[in-house]
């Protein structure tokens, strides 16, 4: 099942994508694609609905972030062995955890703004994990029970802000529009193996990232368990699980960064595709 939110900024409505690619309106069935809607009983109820009985939505409508604004937007850094290698970084012994500002949270087709003073804005296609039930001190064996589904995340990053302006990454990760999410959430039952998903990112039609979740250092089960020992995970929270190689800062012989007027197109197998125009803030 593919769940999404559509409509103008701040006025998004709940919907699902049927097998023919038509958006179906869930207004009146659930209030939003939020924590309550992602509970196991709620997802079972939604899965039992015949999509053809729901009103069709104009396909030209804006698609928003696939879940309502979360309590936590969590990211895992340097979680792909081949990405760590391209940046010259050692393999982490434990997951690197940081929080992305909720001000960055945006839709999959919304413009991405290069912040003022930026010289090194970069792209990162990532597998997003969406939490369905509260997770606190969860053992690895039970971690997947707390996952509602998966989505595409673009962890847009300003590398100079991230790496050259002090010891924390947050300044380079939390700028407005730096967290496109969606276009939809695919429920966990439809993703046979989250550790075997192809992923890509193109800039102006040129393939920059061409990777797979197979090269994750810490898998989804380990990440959910690990994070839950430090941060309580709430229904609707999102964990972006790291990026494969091909980011701009890792390009040889010289790094390559985003410029106004460019377009990012990125996706994860079975989870849909994002597309963002890049412009100056």
pLDDT by residue (tens digit) across 71-117? 999 999 999 988 888 878 888 999 999 999 999 999 999 999 999 99
One domain, residues 276 and 180: yes
Integer Rg of the chain from CA: 18
Rounded Cα distance between 115 and 139, Å, is 40
One domain, residues 242 and 170: yes
pLDDT of 167 above 80 = no
One domain, residues 149 and 257: yes
One domain, residues 95 and 47: no
Rounded Cα distance between 37 and 30, Å, is 6
In a domain, 68, yes or no: no
In a domain, 138, yes or no: yes
- Residue 179 near residue 156 (C-beta atoms within 8 A): yes
One domain, residues 47 and 95: no
Backbone angles phi, psi at 211, to 5 degrees: -135, -165
Q: What is the mean pLDDT of residues 123-136?
A: 98
One domain, residues 217 and 118: yes
What is the pLDDT at residue 166? 83
Q: What is the mean pLDDT of residues 10-15?
A: 97
Q: How many CB atoms lie within 10 A of CB 1?
A: 18
In a domain, 44, yes or no: yes
pLDDT by residue (tens digit) across 229-262? 999 999 999 999 999 999 999 998 999 999 999 9
What is the pLDDT at residue 83? 82
- Number of domains into which the chain is organized: 2
DSSP label of 22:
-
- Mean pLDDT rounded to a whole number for the chain: 96
- Identify the CA nearest to 277 among candidates 70, 108, 71: 108
One domain, residues 174 and 270: yes
The model carries a pTM of 0.96
In a domain, 62, yes or no: no
- Residue 17 belongs to domain spanning: 2-53
One domain, residues 177 and 220: yes
What is the pLDDT at residue 245? 94
What is the pLDDT at residue 165? 87
One domain, residues 94 and 164: yes
One domain, residues 44 and 87: no
Q: Which residues of 263-275 are buried (b: 16+ CB within 10 A; e: fewer)?
A: ebbbbbeebbebe
In a domain, 209, yes or no: yes
pLDDT of 169 above 90 = no
One domain, residues 43 and 87: no
One domain, residues 23 and 142: no
């Amino acid at each position: 099942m593919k769940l999404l939110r559509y409509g103008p900024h701040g006025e998004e409505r709940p919907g699902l994508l049927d097998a023919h690619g038509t958006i179906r309106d869930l207004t009146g069935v659930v209030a939003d694609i939020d924590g309550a809607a992602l509970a196991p009983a709620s997802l079972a109820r939604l899965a039992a609905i015949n999509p053809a009985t729901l009103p069709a939505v104009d396909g030209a409508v804006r698609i928003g972030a696939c879940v309502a604004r979360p309590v936590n937007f969590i990211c895992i850094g340097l979680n792909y062995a081949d990405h760590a290698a391209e940046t010259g970084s050692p393999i982490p012994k434990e997951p690197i955890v940081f929080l992305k500002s909720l001000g960055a949270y945006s839709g999959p087709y919304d413009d991405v703004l290069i912040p003022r003073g930026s010289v090194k804005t970069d792209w990162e296609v990532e597998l997003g994990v969406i939490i369905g039930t509260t997770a606190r001190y969860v053992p690895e064996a039970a971690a997947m029970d707390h996952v509602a589904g998966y989505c595409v995340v673009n962890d847009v990053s300003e590398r100079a802000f991230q790496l050259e302006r002090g010891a924390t990454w947050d300044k380079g990760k939390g700028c407005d529009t730096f967290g496109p999410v969606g276009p939809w959430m695919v429920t966990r039952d439809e993703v046979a193996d989250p550790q075997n998903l192809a992923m890509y990112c193109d800039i102006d039609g040129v393939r920059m990232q061409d990777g797979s979740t197979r090269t994750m250092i810490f898998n989804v089960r380990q990440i959910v368990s690990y994070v839950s020992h430090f941060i309580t995970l709430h229904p609707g929270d999102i964990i972006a699980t790291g990026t494969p190689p091909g980011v701009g800062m890792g390009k040889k012989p010289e790094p390559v960064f985003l410029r106004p007027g460019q377009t990012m197109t990125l996706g994860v197998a079975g989870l849909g595709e994002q597309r963002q125009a890049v412009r100056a803030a």
